Structure 1
Amino acid sequence: MKRDFFLYELDDHEFEGLVIQIAKFLLGLGVSPFATGKDGGRDGKFLGTAERFPSTNSPLVGHVVLQSKHINAPDRSCSDRDFHRLLKDEHPKIKARVKDGICDHYMVFTNRKYTAGTDAKLVSQLMGCKVQSAHILGVEYMHSLLESHTDLQKFLPNARDKAPFVFDPEEFIEVIHAFRDYTKEDDESAYSSAFDFESVKLKDKNRINGLTEEYFKQVIVARSMPYFDKIKDFLSNPRNREFADIYADSAAEMKESILLHRSKFPNFDHVFNFLYGHIQKQRPALRQKRRLVSILLHYMYCHCDIGSKDMTGLVEAEHADA
Structure 2
Amino acid sequence: MSYDLTQLGWNAFQDLACAVTAEVLKRPVQMFLGSNDGGRDGAFLGTWNGDSGETAKSTIQCIGKPGANLTLAALQDELPKAATLAKQGLAEDYVIMTNGGVSGEADAQICKAFEAAGVKTCRVLGGSWIEQQLAENAKLRMLIPRGVWDW
TM-score range, shorter chain: 0.7 to 0.9
The correspondence for 2:68, drawn from 66, 73, 76, is 76
User: Contact between 1:37 and 1:43, CA under 8 Å: does it hold in 2?
Assistant: no
**Alpha-carbon separation, structure 2, partners of 1:97 and 1:140:** 27
Query: Residues 106-142 of structure 1, C-alpha deviation per residue, up to 9 Å, x if partnerless?
Result: 0011011112234311111111111110000001111
The correspondence for 1:17, drawn from 15, 32, 55, is 15
Partner of 1:280: none
TM-aligned CA distance change 1:106 to 1:59, over 3 Å:
farther
**Alpha-carbon separation, structure 2, partners of 1:135 and 1:116:** 12
**Alpha-carbon separation, structure 1, partners of 2:51 and 2:85:** 27
**Alpha-carbon separation, structure 1, partners of 2:149 and 2:81:** 41
Query: Residues 179-220 of structure 1, C-alpha deviation per residue, up to 9 Å, x if partnerless?
Result: xxxxxxxxxxxxxxxxxxxxxxxxxxxxxxxxxxxxxxxxxx
Aligned residue identity for 2:120: Q
**Alpha-carbon separation, structure 2, partners of 1:141 and 1:156:** 15
Partner of 1:32: 30
Partner of 1:102: 90
**Alpha-carbon separation, structure 1, partners of 2:54 and 2:132:** 21
Query: Residues 124-163 of structure 1, C-alpha deviation per residue, up to 9 Å, x if partnerless?
Result: 1111111110000001111111111222111112x2x497
> 2:108 aligned with 1:120, yes or no?
yes
Q: How many residues align?
A: 150
CA positional deviation for 1:59 = 10
Unaligned stretches of 5+ residues in structure 2? none
Partner of 2:43: 45
**Alpha-carbon separation, structure 1, partners of 2:15 and 2:41:** 12
Partner of 2:58: 64
Hey, which of these two has a bigger chunk of strand by percent? 2
TM-aligned CA distance change 1:38 to 1:140, over 3 Å:
closer
Partner of 1:239: none
Counterpart secondary structure, 2:132: helix
CA positional deviation for 1:105 = 1.2
**Alpha-carbon separation, structure 1, partners of 2:130 and 2:27:** 19
User: Contact between 1:108 and 1:136, CA under 8 Å: does it hold in 2?
Assistant: yes
Question: Matches of residues 78-227 of structure 1 in structure 2 within 5 Å?
Answer: 78-79=70-71, 84-157=72-145, 159=146, 161=147
Larger of the two Rg values belongs to structure: 1
Counterpart secondary structure, 1:135: strand
TM-score, with structure 1 as normaliser? 0.42
Aligned residue identity for 1:31: V
TM-aligned CA distance change 1:10 to 1:162, over 3 Å:
closer
**Alpha-carbon separation, structure 2, partners of 1:162 and 1:8:** 8
**Alpha-carbon separation, structure 1, partners of 2:54 and 2:6:** 29
